[in-house]
Amino acid sequence: MQKIMMVRAKALLAGKTVARVVGWKKGELGYDVTPAVFENEEEFDRDFVYDDFCCANLSKYLIKESRREGKTLVFLKPCDSFSFNQLVKEHRIVRENVYVIGVPCEGKIDERKAAAKGITGITSMSSDGKTVTVKTLYGESSMDKSELLSDRCAACKSRKHAAYDELIGEEGSPREIDRFALVAKIEAMSPEERFEFWRGELSRCIRCNACRNVCPACTCEKCVFDNDASGVANKAAADSSEENMFHVIRAFHVAGRCTDCGECSRVCPQNIPLHLLNRKVIKDINGIFGEFQAGADTEAVSPLTSYKLDDAEPSVIYSREGGHK
pLDDT of residue 288: 87
Other beta carbons less than 10 A from residue 16's beta carbon:
9
Residue type, 90: E
Q: How far apart are CA 55 and CA 112, in angstroms?
A: 13
> Which of 182, 203, 179 lies closest to 271, judged by CA?
203
As a whole number, the mean pLDDT across the chain is 91
> Which of 126, 160, 158, 123 lies closest to 142, judged by CA?
126
pLDDT of residue 226: 84
pLDDT of residue 137: 94
For the entire predicted model, the pTM comes to 0.91
pLDDT < 70 regions, the chain: 231-239, 314, 316-325
Radius of gyration of the chain (CA): 21
DSSP 253: H
Helix/strand/coil percent split, the chain, to 5? 40, 15, 45
pLDDT tens track for 179-234: 999 999 999 999 999 999 999 999 999 889 999 999 999 999 888 888 877 766 66
Reduce the DSSP state of residue 190 to 3 states and report it. Answer: coil
Q: Determine the Cα angle at 240 with ends 180 and 210, to 5°.
A: 60
Please, where are the H alpha helices in 139-190?
Answer: 151-154, 181-187
pLDDT of residue 241: 74
Q: How far apart are CA 21 and CA 9, in angstroms?
A: 8
